[in-house]
Structure 1
Amino acid sequence: MKIKPLPEEVINKISAGEVVERPASVLKELIENSLDANSKKIEVFIEKGGKKLIKVKDDGVGIYPDDMINAVKRFNTSKISSADDLFALQSYGFRGEALSSISAVSKFKLISRTLETPTGNEIYIEGGKLQYFRESGSPLGTTVEVKELFFNIPARQKFLKSEKTELIHILDVFSKYAFIHTDKSFSIHIDGKLLYNFYPSTLKERLLKIIGKEFEKDFIEIDYEGTIGIVKGYINLASVYTKKKYIFINKRPVRDFIIQNTIKELIGDKFYILFIDLPSYFVDFNVHPSKQEVKFVKESSVINLIKSALNECLNIFKKKTISYSYKENFESHLKQTTKKYETSKFEIIGQIEDTFLVAYYNEEVYFIDQHVAHERIFYELLMKEYLEKGEIPSQKLITPAVLKLTPDEIQKLKILENKLNKYGFSFEIEDTKVFLTGIPYNMSQFSAENIVRDILETGNLNASAEEIFSQMACKMSVKAGDKLDKEKAHALIKQWLETDNPNLCPHGRPIYYKIRLEEIKKKVGRL
């Protein structure tokens, strides 16, 4: 067969596969372009999880009319001009691939005006083909609209997750850049409704607006300068396990499993947000088109920098008076968690909204979240089984289930397969297909498939048994809205009361709320 060059249209689609994985990766590229344009205000508009629309509007310097066509061509950029520039990057973009790749797989509109031009200009591209280029009324800055992502590649469209899942990834991207650039205004509209509107503020103020004010009390600030760089940010040692963990290197969000593991060894699965500043020559972002993977001149030096920063922070924390109150609270919590109940005296009163079980015990009324109570039961059963036997028993499926996974997810599964085998999952992995052949006992096939997808979507290849079992317990448990008859309610309550920690679910949520009968009587004038 004769070898021949690929058509430009095919090349663009292949390139788009590396740069554009999902709506969130489009948003990432557009926000970075806005930041590189010295924008002070960035507005984001999302519809249908980004599948229908991703729109980013900024007040940056804009694009000159003569550059509009070049802006959507491959390997055209205003940000570098020589190979040496790759080792002294001052901008987010530098490959000149993003807009070309995005416009190749969407209905793409770019509107822009500079300070020097009296009117704006508009370019519209469909599936990589220019439809028109014309003058257009526009304020100073640039607006990019990306509609119907992957409309011309149905196979890629099918691999997109639900609108809810895609939106989670979009908000993650939005949050990261809002954290990095607290000196700028950011807003995001979801399906026509304003979700966040941030004005310039401190990192802590913006952090609390996004992750919740409940984290504020136990924030510990990091401000450390080492020989090769600076580490700043916050950790929260009192937080329960959370997926909210952020690492930024030279103002770029990055994924680095070695750094993540280093932090985990020191503080466990707690919240953290770290900003690491290194000399530009020390780090290479030109590893992958996504620019979220990095290489270091000397990785061990970076690891030592992070360890030193965290150790200094932890030592200062221990010396503070707050450490004593934290210790007292922790010891009090331990005493509380070891409290045992006389299950025979627990009187089930009923169920509210098929979500909360109501019970009476020892002059107190309990409102018990049936889902998280059941989670605690399954979590401890799984942990006990795993600690005693080193694995979770598996049940074979009569008919293996076909898992629709992306090539990237299949690679992750290959890495995780041995670990997941120990947790009761078994697979047959072919080049482009994956069959789920075995699932943990007591788990439905539907739940098992969802857990595998969740694990692969998070991308955490180093997830601990505790983290995986938390996810498994969640999927195995009764849900809010499930009606329980008295027999099932009694069985659930009995098992829950016999757990080692009946107060918190594996994710750290309280399982119940209780109020003394005496307090109720006071409220209604009985006392």
Structure 2
Amino acid sequence: MSDIINILPDSVANQIAAGEVVDRPASAVKELMENAMDADATQIQLIVKDAGRTLIQVIDNGCGMSDSDARLCFERHATSKIHKADDLYALHTMGFRGEALASIAAIAQVEMKTRQHDAELGTQVEIEGCSVKDQHACSCPCGTSIAVKNLFYNVPARRNFLKKDTIELSHIEEVFRRITLIHNDISFTFHSNGKLLYDLKSDTMLQRICQVFGDGYKEKFYPVEEESDVVCIKGYVAKAEYAKRSRSEQYLFVNGRYIKHPMLAAAIEKAYTEMIPEGNHPAFFVSLTVDPSRMDVNIHPTKTEVRFVDESAMFAILRAATKKALGQFSLATEFEFNPSTEFDFKPMPKGYVPAEPKIDYNPTYNPFAETRDTNKRDDHNRDNWKNFFEERTCDSTPSMESHVGQTNVPNGDFKATENQEFFQIQNRYIACPTNDGLLLVDQRLAHERILFERLTQKEKAVGGQQLLFPVNCQFSAADADIMEEMKSELEHSGFKIQRMAGSNVFVVSASPADLNDSELQDFFDTLVREYKGAMMEKFSDRGTKIYMSIARRMAIKAEKVLQKEEMRQIVKDLMECNMPAVAPGGERTTTLLTADKIRQIFVNS
């Protein structure tokens, strides 16, 4: 039998490595920008076209490379960062694996120009699919410029998996933020399709946060700082009142590198216990300095996963430092006490004797009397609830249509009478006795279905109310473009928004009545995040996913106390929907506890 094991060619091996290192344009941006920082650059330019599909270019004023290094840097495992295995535990650079440029060159057309500060001429190298097409001397500024063109040109399957430009650009922007927030001593610019998105000058960490996210962030954070033998902590944690439903503004850095570490992130969140509502999360920008010998970053090619020798101690120190910052700068120190002795109510006059309370009762009430037959209802009420539910049929693989039929909701002719009883269970479910049993309605999901069907009626826009004072909402450059994409759907939903010229700020002058002014920024942030999320990508209709998100965000909360008339209106509106049985996301809105089911509960108990 002949041998079947072969050594792969370098071009194939590099493409395999590229699958781990470069999975989308944002990955290439990360690798190129980290190389620029390792070259001691003080100014870095990022230029992209078509969200990185056509061009990704990084220009720096770093140390540059010699003629031979310019060629050698594209070889696999070629690096200037380490020389022996022990160097892995004494890292002071962003890169060290020697895989990035080789992986990028395997799947793109790369042009590099580089010149050292003491050289008169630089070097230009052109590579396509691992093959060097040209190398010659050239005139260029000190530093390095790497242009990556037509990413994945020779891997069409990977190129087909890329999302739309707005999504890919948002990923690039997130990588840009993760790098620029911690390296505030470096100046950065970011151009997309010829448009300047960011122009960041070197400044303090707080000023860099404001440059990236907006000037309003200066008032939202407390400084946190702590030094110990295990870890040195420096950064900013958000005030409790600015907690959000998402963790999109949680940034944790170690030795100048952005990392994902759920345990350390949880340490910061633990400090907010009993200070923020359940389900909300604080924003933070925290930098940790740790002895490189006490950590391991060589876990994954992306280098965002890190292991620490002293994780438990770091958890305790980080939580304590955050608690200290929250307590030291707490608003409690700003309370002012009113020395006035005036009462909020008038004291009773001297000698006043209160009258005995009067208790009303029914002298004919007999708790042991025979109860009336609940089946003897008036004809009008019986007609309203006749055929309220049909018997469910069993189907091992129900479709959406069959599922709607099986949930046994009343048809559009249903009307709840004024005498119909409604009550809440745990302030989550609307309960209504019927002649067949007990109808249970999930108030949040029901309201979500009602809002969704109103929003999807294209011929009828939802009315909004004019705001007394317009509200400014600020976004990142990529998120602002997504807001522009959603503008028509937002205006159909009752919003009136306008983007300020030359900025990423939107002025909101009208909004649906159910939204408070203070909720608008969080509402739009959530909407943009869900629009970008992978969960939403499975829908082909952009309007559908936007309206689903709006309905979910505007629906009444699960624990809201409802008045009887509000419960009646929700049930009535739900029964008038085209698909009352399910929420837009497919969850059931109603269920019926029949008399048989209730009886069975007691029999089986």
1:491-524 Cα distance to aligned partner (Å, 9 max, x none)? 9xx87xx9xxxxxxxxxxxxxxxxxxxxxxxxxx
Of the three residues 331, 354, 364, the one matched with 2:492 is 354
Q: Deviations over 1:265-318 (max 9, x none)?
A: 333511101101111111111111111111111321221221121122122133
Does residue 474 of the first structure (1) align with residue 549 of the second (2)? Answer: yes
TM superposition shift of 1:74: 0.4
User: 1:173: Cα distance to partner?
Assistant: 1.3
In structure 2, the partner of 1:288 is: 300
> Cα–Cα, structure 1 residues 158 and 226, in superposed 2: closer, same or farther, change >3 Å?
same
Paired residue for 2:320, among 284, 293, 308?
308
Residue 254 of structure 1 is matched in structure 2 by 259
Matched ranges for 1:206-355 at <5 A: 206-237=208-239, 238-241=241-244, 242=246, 243-267=248-272, 268-318=280-330, 321-322=333-334, 353-355=491-493
Q: Structure 1 residues 448, 208: closer, same or farther in 2, change over 3 A?
A: closer
- After superposition, where does 1:61-76 map in structure 2 within 5 Å? 61-76=63-78
The change in CA–CA distance for 1:76 and 1:306 in structure 2 (over 3 A counts) is same
Distance in 2, matches of 1:200 and 1:111, equals: 25
The answer on whether the counterparts of 2:105 and 2:130 sit within 8 Å (CA) in structure 1 is yes
Question: d(CA) in 2 for partners of 1:451 and 1:372?
Answer: 23
Identify if the C-alpha distance between structure 1 residues 450 and 43 changes in structure 2 by more than 3 Å, giving closer, same or farther.
closer
Structure 1 residues 354 and 222, CA gap change in structure 2 (3 angstroms): same
Q: Partner letter of residue 259 of structure 1?
A: L
2-side partners of 1:287 and 1:210: how far apart? 30
Contact 1:18 1:289 in 2 (8 A): yes
Over 3 Å counting, the alpha-carbon distance change for 1:26 and 1:451 in structure 2 is closer
Aligned residues: 370
Q: How large is the Cα RMSD of the aligned pairs?
A: 3.3
Question: Quick one: which of 156, 177, 191 aligns to 1:154?
Answer: 156
The answer for the alignment partner of 1:399 in structure 2 is none
What is the deviation of 1:190? 1.0
Query: Within 5 Å, which residues of 2 pair with 1:331-480?
Result: 353-356=491-494, 367-369=510-512, 453=535, 474=549, 476=551
- Shift of the 197–324 alpha-carbon distance from structure 1 to 2, 3 Å rule, reads farther
- Amino acid of the structure 2 residue aligned with 1:91: T
Which moves more between the two structures, 259-268 or 16-25?
259-268
Measured against aligned partners, the alpha-carbon deviations of 1:65-113 in whole angstroms (never above 9, x if no partner) come to: 0111111000011111111111000111111111001110111111101
Would the aligned equivalents of 2:531 and 2:546 in 1 still touch at CA under 8 Å?
no
Q: Can you give the 5+ residue segments of structure 1 that lack an aligned partner in the other structure?
A: 326-347, 359-365, 380-446, 457-469, 480-490, 499-527
**In structure 2, distance between residues paired with 1:303 and 1:168:** 31
Q: 1:129 to 1:307 in 2, by over 3 A?
A: same
Aligned AA (2:535) = R
Q: Which moved more, 1:260-269 or 1:87-96?
A: 260-269
State the secondary structure of the residue aligned to 2:242. coil
1:141 and 2:284 aligned? no
Larger radius of gyration: 2
Query: Structure 1 289/198 Cα, relative in aligned 2: closer, same or farther at 3 Å?
Result: same
Check whether the contact 1:72–1:103 (CA below 8 A) recurs between aligned residues.
yes
In structure 2, relative to structure 1, the CA distance for the partners of 1:64 and 1:357 (3 Å cut) is: closer
Residue type of the alignment partner of 1:8: D
Return the letter of the residue paired with 2:286: L
Partner of 1:321, secondary structure, is helix
Check conservation: 2:464, 2:511, Cα contact below 8 A. Answer: no
Q: Which amino acid aligns with 1:199?
A: K
For 2:200 and 2:531, the matched residues in 1 are separated by 38
- In structure 2, the CA distance between the partners of 1:371 and 1:196, relative to structure 1 (3 Å rule), is farther
Q: Which amino acid aligns with 2:494?
A: F
Partner Cα separation in structure 2 for residue 132 and residue 354 of structure 1: 55
Q: Which amino acid aligns with 2:199?
A: N
Q: Contact 1:371 / 1:477 at 8 angstroms: preserved in 2?
A: no
Which secondary structure state, in structure 2, belongs to the residue aligned with residue 311 of structure 1? helix
Report the Cα distance in structure 1 between the residues aligned to 2:107 and 2:135, rounded to whole angstroms. 19
Post-superposition Cα deviations, 1:157-210, rounded to whole Å, max 9, x if no partner, equal 122122111111111111122111211111111110111111111111111121
What is the one-letter code of the residue matched to 1:302? M
Letter of the structure 1 residue corresponding to residue 136 of structure 2: R
CA–CA distance in structure 2, aligned partners of residues 72 and 105 of structure 1:
12
Q: 1:164 to 1:319 in 2, by over 3 A?
A: closer
Instruction: Work out the CA distance in 1 between the residues paired with 2:462 and 2:66.
Output: 71
Tell me by how many angstroms 1:455 deviates: 9.9
Q: Is the 8 A contact 2:232 2:289 kept in 1?
A: yes
**Rounded Cα–Cα distance in structure 1 between residues aligned with 2:91 and 2:514:** 49
- Distance in 1 (alpha carbons) for counterparts of 2:178 and 2:97: 21
Structure (1/2) with the larger helix percentage: 1
Which among 108, 117, 120 is matched to residue 118 of structure 1?
120
Return the alpha-carbon distance in structure 2 between the equivalents of residues 113 and 276 of structure 1: 34
> Which runs of 5 or more structure 2 residues have no equivalent in the other structure?
273-279, 338-460, 466-490, 497-508, 523-528, 539-544, 555-565, 574-605
370 and 101 in structure 1: CA distance in 2 versus 1, 3 angstrom threshold: farther
- 1:126 is displaced (CA, Å) by 1.1
Q: Which amino acid aligns with 1:255?
A: K
Distance 1:25 1:450 in 2: 17
Structure 1 residue 134 displacement after superposition: 1.2
**Does the 8 Å contact 1:219/1:235 carry over to 2?**
yes
**Residue type matched to 1:279 in 2?**
D
- SS of 1:248's partner is strand
Q: Is the 8 A contact 2:462 2:494 kept in 1?
A: no
Q: Which amino acid aligns with 2:264?
A: I
Q: Deviations over 1:201-223 (max 9, x none)?
A: 11111111211222222310001
Post-superposition shift, 1:264?
Answer: 2.6
Change (3 A) 1:316 1:471: farther
Report the TM-score, using the length of structure 1 for normalisation: 0.65
The offset of 1:471, in angstroms, is 10
Partner residue of 1:12 out of 11, 14, 26: 14
Q: Which amino acid aligns with 1:271?
A: A
- Check 1:88–1:122 CA distance in 2 against 1; reply closer, same or farther (3 A cut): same
Structure 2 CA distance for partners of 1:254 and 1:33, relative to 1, 3 Å:
same
Q: TM-score, normalization: structure 2?
A: 0.57
Specify the code of the residue in structure 1 equivalent to 2:238. N
1:39 corresponding residue in structure 2 = 41
Task: Report the Cα distance in structure 1 between the residues aligned to 2:312 and 2:35, rounded to whole angstroms.
Answer: 32
Residue 478 of structure 1 and its aligned partner are, at CA, apart by: 10
